[in-house]
Amino acid sequence: MSQPPAKPDLVTVNIDGKEIAVPKGTNVIEAARLVGVDVPHYCYHPKLAIVGNCRMCLVEMGLPAVDPATKQPVIDPANGKQKINWMPRPQIGCGTNAMAGLHIRTNTPQIKDCREGVMEFLLINHPLDCPICDQAGECKLQEQATGYGRGYSRFIEQKNVKPKRTQLGPRVTLDDERCVLCSRCIRFSKDVAKDDVLGFTDRGSYSTLSCYPGKQLANNYSLNTVDICPVGALTSTDFRFKMRVWFLKQTNSIDTESSVGVNTVVWSREGQIYRITPRRNDEVNDTWIADSARVLYKQVRDDSRLTTIQVNGQPAELDAAISAAAEFLKVGNVAIVGSGRSSVEEQFLTKKIADAIKASTQIVARAAEGDKLLISADRNPNTRGALVTGLISKLPSAQLTELAAAIDAGKVTTVLAINEDLAAAGLSAEQLDKVKIVYVGTQSNPTSAAAQVVVPTHTVFEKNGTFINQQFRLQKSQTAVPGVAGTVNDSVVLTQLLAAVGGNKLASDIATLWNALSAEIKSLAGLSFAAISETGVVLSSTEFASLAFPEGETLHFKPAAKP
């Protein structure tokens, strides 16, 4: 759990006549944002070191005039207020930090000229690639040229020619002509990804972003450079030429690669997902995400996707499948294998089903080494959801040895598997044969092949849900695309199953489910799905303080001292 921030030392600054109190040291670009003033920039990024090289954020800076002899404020007779000494040279906003009495002007003729100048300079060697450039629609050069450029070109010389289609690495394509040499990618690779592999070669206007010949930008965070590149120099090879961004719908979601719970945006059009990008959360992932998390949307249309409800190998309607499943479940000796990848709502419903039929519950652990950045050692995004909902009371193991033994001993005759492949968790084909299996999940696998009832459900991209990350932060994910034809929403399946085995009749919509969740689970009291903020809600974790969670340190997370 991160410490609550110390109370900041506030200073009052004046930006274009608007006064605001900001923490001392806040840079002018951020301070201006707070009063609704846009200070255009390229090289500045809130999560990277300040370099001040684009010169687009130039602003006029002034400080209150004080008589050096008497130390008294100098008053301007024209308006009776303290005179402001405006510096003749404009200053970069990113490199100017708030101090008491700082005055900033961004709307003067000089600043207008500065911006037009920088825009003109950036465009003179920039190729006319907009029609074929992926960045169009989210390109800072386009936006700022429109907002602050002069609108016409005076350049009639030959533009510089540079390499245009370099495969910088397995996932990133580089077009050096478009590069504005802001160095964001270099700073990111070196300081955040800790992979010092990018640099500028040659000099002056011929400077070129490069990798050392023979080396590649191949680390698992390489695509962040594409996100932060303000122009179309660095682009995603996967996304190249696929879709114009203005056609894409953006949905806030949560990455399920690990318990870090990186915040994401899922970009889709007409039911197809085209890419995933990180969503800023200063408490979880800053503005970053691992490359491996971005490809998770491919599971939606993967060949292994289950798309037909089946009973005993034959296509069936949902009602029939629910009835058939309920028959098996009511018999008794049921083990429920839930998932650390299911949402809190699904785990809640799973627990209710377990209570209704007195079944044992477990989930399957996914442990792998964390990368100390945005992938934790727990590759289940929602182990803590299972704990908070009571689905489990201790940390899971990767192999279901107890269940296997119970099956061999005849103590378990039916297994309800929710999105977990029992074979991968250690059960043998013989053991799968010994039990009746109801499989509720997304991808086909040995378990779904052996199951008597198969109900295909939704990936995280096709439903609403919440997940509790390693910080015990409850974060919500929203439906990006409709479920693939033939699939059913997990909550619909689970509420129907619950009703069919004699449990409560609950509506499956998420708002109503949350009425139940907030009523029945102490740490979720008072919450509703709508009210969960986009940056999440940190829940109490004292109840679980004695558990030896596997996660080590990652960005914004330090594990609690071992119990």
Partner 1 sequence: MNFKQETLQRIDEVITHYPVKRSATLPLLHLIQEDAGYISDEAIEWVAQKLELQPINVFEVVTFYPMFRRKPIGRRHVKVCRTLSCALMGGYKVCDEFKKEFGVELNEVSADGEVTIEFVECLASCGTAPVVMIDEELHEKVDTAKARALAAKIKSEAKR
Partner 2 sequence: MPAPSQRRLIFQHIDEPGYSNDLACYVRNGGYEILKKSVTRKPEEIIDEVKKSGLRGRGGAGFPCGVKWSLVDRKSGKPIYLVVNADESEPGTFKDRYIIHQDPHQLIEGIMISCFANNVKQAYIYIRGEFPIGARILEKAIAEARAANFVGPNILGTHYSCEIYVHRGAGAYICGEETGLIESIEGKRPYPRIKPPYFPAVLGLYQCPTIVNNVETLCHVKHISDMGGEAFSKIGTPNNTGTRILCVSGHVQRPGYYEYEVGKITLGQLLNEVCGGPLPGRTFKGVIPGGSSAKVLRFGEIFTLKNKDGSTRTLTVEDIPMDFDTLAACGTMGGSGGVIVMDDSVNMVDALANLNAFYAHESCGQCTPCREGSLWMKKITARMVHGDARAEDGALLNSVANQIAGRTICAMGEACSWPTMSFVAKFGDEFKAYPETKNAPKSTDALELV
Site string for partner 2, 103-132 (x = CB under 8 A): ----------xx-xxx-xxx-xx-------
Tell me which residue of 173, 167, 186, 182 sits closest to 126, measured CA to CA: 182
Q: Pick from 28, 39, 54, 231: which binds partner 2 (CB under 8 A)?
A: 54
Q: Does residue 468 bind partner 1 (CB under 8 A)? A: no
What percent of the residues of the chain are helix, what percent strand, and what percent coil, each to the nearest 5? 25, 20, 55
157 binds partner 2 (CB under 8 A): yes
- Written as one string, the DSSP assignment of 409-455 is TTS--EEEEES--TTTTT--HHHHHHSEEEEEESB--HHHHH-SEEE
Of 69-77, 101-109, 198-206, 308-316, the window that binds partner 2 (rule: CB under 8 A) is: 198-206
Rule CB under 8 A: is residue 215 a binding residue for partner 1?
Answer: yes
In the block, tokens 């009523």 appear at 519
Q: State which residue, 195 or 355, has the beta carbon closest to partner 1.
A: 195
Which one, of 207, 209, 219, lies nearest residue 169 by Cα?
A: 219
Q: Is 200 in the site for partner 1 (CB under 8 A)?
A: yes
- Asked if 56 is part of the footprint of partner 2 (rule: CB under 8 A), the reply reads yes
Nearest residue to 472 via CA among 562, 361, 387 = 387
Of the candidates 99, 212, 411, 502, which one interacts with partner 1 according to CB under 8 A? 212
Q: Is 58 in the site for partner 2 (CB under 8 A)?
A: yes
Asked if 194 interacts with partner 1 (CB under 8 A), we say: no
- 205 near partner 1, judged by CB under 8 A: no
Number of residues assigned to the chain: 563
φ, ψ of residue 447 in degrees (nearest 5): -65, -45
Q: What are phi and psi of 247, to 5 degrees?
A: -90, -10
Q: Is 205 in the site for partner 2 (CB under 8 A)?
A: yes
Per DSSP, the residues of 339-367 read -TTS-HHHHHHHHHHHHHHT-EEE----B
Which is nearer to partner 2, 213 or 526 (by Cβ)? 213
The only residue of 145, 172, 182, 198 in contact with partner 1, by rule CB under 8 A: 198
Find which of partner 2, partner 1, none residue 393 binds, CB within 5 to 8 Å per kind. none
Angle between helices 490-500 and 318-330 (to 10 degrees): 50
Minimal distance, residue 69 CB to partner 2, in Å: 20
Q: How many CA atoms lie within 13 A of 258 on its CB side?
A: 28
Q: Which of 386, 385, 538, 522 is nearest to 466 (CA)?
A: 385
Q: Can you tell me which of 37, 145, 197, 364 binds partner 1, judged by CB under 8 A?
A: 197
358 is a contact residue toward partner 1 (CB under 8 A) = no
Which residue, 202 or 317, has its beta carbon nearer to partner 1?
Answer: 202
Which of 201, 308 has the CB closer to partner 1? 201
Answer yes or no: are the C-beta atoms of 233 and 183 closer than 8 Å.
no
Q: Is 390 in the site for partner 2 (CB under 8 A)?
A: no
- Residue from 7, 71, 154, 165 that binds partner 2 (CB under 8 A)? 154
Judged by CB under 8 A, which of 204, 213, 214, 563 binds partner 2?
204
Q: Give the residue among 305, 313, 253 at the shortest CA–CA distance from 485.
A: 305
Q: Considering the rule CB under 8 A, would residue 199 count as an interface residue with partner 1? A: yes
Q: Tell me whether residue 212 or residue 247 sits nearer to partner 1 (CB atom).
A: 212
74 binds, among partner 2, partner 1, none (CB under 5 to 8 A by kind): none
Size of residue set near partner 1 by CB under 8 A: 13
Site membership for partner 1, residue 210 (CB under 8 A): yes
Question: Residue 283: CB partners within 8 Å, gap ≥ 6?
Answer: 2, 471, 473, 535, 536, 556
Quick one: tokens of 233? 């120099």
224: its two tokens: 């962040």
What CA–CA distance (Å, rounded) separates 491 from 457? 9
Task: Classify burial at 252, counting beta carbons within 10 Å of its beta carbon; exposed 0-12, middle 13-18, buried 19 or more.
Answer: middle
CA 520 – CA 385 distance, rounded (Å):
14
222 binds partner 1 (CB under 8 A): no
Measure the CA–CA gap between 324 and 332, rounded to whole angstroms: 14
Binding partner 2 (rule: CB under 8 A), the pick from 34, 50, 367, 499 is 50
C-beta of 207 vs 299, nearer to partner 2: 207
Q: Which stretch binds partner 2 (CB under 8 A): 1-9, 54-62, 407-415, 417-425?
A: 54-62
- Write out the residues near partner 1 by the rule CB under 8 A: 196-203, 210-213, 215
What does the binding site for partner 2 look like in residue numbers (CB under 8 A)? 50-56, 58, 88-90, 92, 95, 113-114, 116-118, 120-122, 124-125, 154-158, 160, 180-181, 199-200, 202-207
